[in-house]
Amino acid sequence: MSRPLPLTRPALAVVLLGSPGSGKGTQARQLSEALGIPHISTGDMLRAYVRQGHPTGAAVEGKLKAGILVKDEVVNALVVERLAQPDAARGFILDGYPRTRAQAETLSSMLAARGVQELVIHLIVDYNVIIARLTGRRQCPVCGTVYNLVSKPPKVPGVCDLDGAKLIVREDDRESVIRERLEAYEHQTRPLLDYFRGKGVRVSEVEASHDSPEVIFRKIEALIRES
């Protein structure tokens, strides 16, 4: 059920941190709906630019396919522009941003200037579960619905339940690329947990390997509402 955050509380930036495949996107979508604040995914924004043939899309397409991080300046500019939209005034959920120290610093100074409270939620997922999720992921190229061969298979193998389109493997879900994405996370993004803690930002750990998405959602929602 949707219960928007009270208007009286300070604006809130929820940062979902976790490895690729930790379920950030799934949780962010549900939280956005329940709390009435936008879901901001730099991965989705970059993929939309590629689909639309936008000049930024042409510049980043190769990096996305190879699982390599896009330049900080490009991603920071996207986020600065997005956070200036009126719907982000009361708060927002960041999914896939920040991913590097430079991005975290840009975000912190933006939020400090606007008096926005930060809350970091770290989704912890076992390595083997991550690999099973990423290698089993299939997507509908028409409506974007994401399936998983193990945890959420389509009714008819290989076919989207909603529109009958043939499901595809996202280019960056190929095994060699998955390795690249996990390494980028380990070396560049995981250290941000210490960066945030060092600045006195609250970092809440949520074990997200085995519980259902619904149970994990309840835990995160409670952390946010009591923050």
Q: Which residues bind ligand ADP (CB under 6 A)?
A: 20, 42-43, 46, 63-64, 67-70, 75, 96-97, 99, 103, 172, 181
47 is catalytic: no
Three-state secondary structure of 175-220? HHHHHHHHHHHHHHHCCHHHHHHHCCCEEEEEECCCCCHHHHHHHH
Letter string b/e over residues 137-159, b meaning 16 or more CB atoms within 10 A of that residue's CB: bbbbeeeebebbbeeeebeeeeb
63 is catalytic: no
- Using alpha carbons, select from 158, 113, 117 the residue that is nearest to residue 139: 158
Task: Pick the catalytic residue from 170, 174, 190, 219.
Answer: 170
Task: Pick the catalytic residue from 24, 82, 90, 133.
Answer: 24
In sequence order, what are the beta bridge partners of 41? 95
CA distances from 222 to 17, 81, 83, 187, 208 (A): 17, 29, 24, 30, 15
Closer by beta carbon to ligand ADP, 20 or else 91: 20
174 is catalytic: no
Q: Are 121 and 16 in contact, with CB atoms under 8 Å apart?
A: yes
166 is catalytic: no
170 is catalytic: yes
Residue number of the CB closest to ligand ADP reads 43
Closer by beta carbon to ligand ADP, 25 or else 91: 25
- Smallest separation (angstroms) from ligand ADP to the CB of 7: 29
- Smallest separation (angstroms) from ligand ADP to the CB of 195: 14
How far is it, in rounded angstroms, from Cα 189 to Cα 107?
Answer: 14
Closer by beta carbon to ligand ADP, 75 or else 206: 75
Token look-up 């750990």 returns 205
- Smallest separation (angstroms) from ligand ADP to the CB of 226: 27
Closer by beta carbon to ligand ADP, 48 or else 143: 48
- Smallest separation (angstroms) from ligand ADP to the CB of 75: 4
In sequence order, what are the beta bridge partners of 205? 122
Task: Pick the catalytic residue from 90, 133, 138, 181.
Answer: 181
Task: Pick the catalytic residue from 90, 99, 133, 138.
Answer: 99
User: Could you list the active site residues?
Assistant: 24, 99, 137, 170, 181
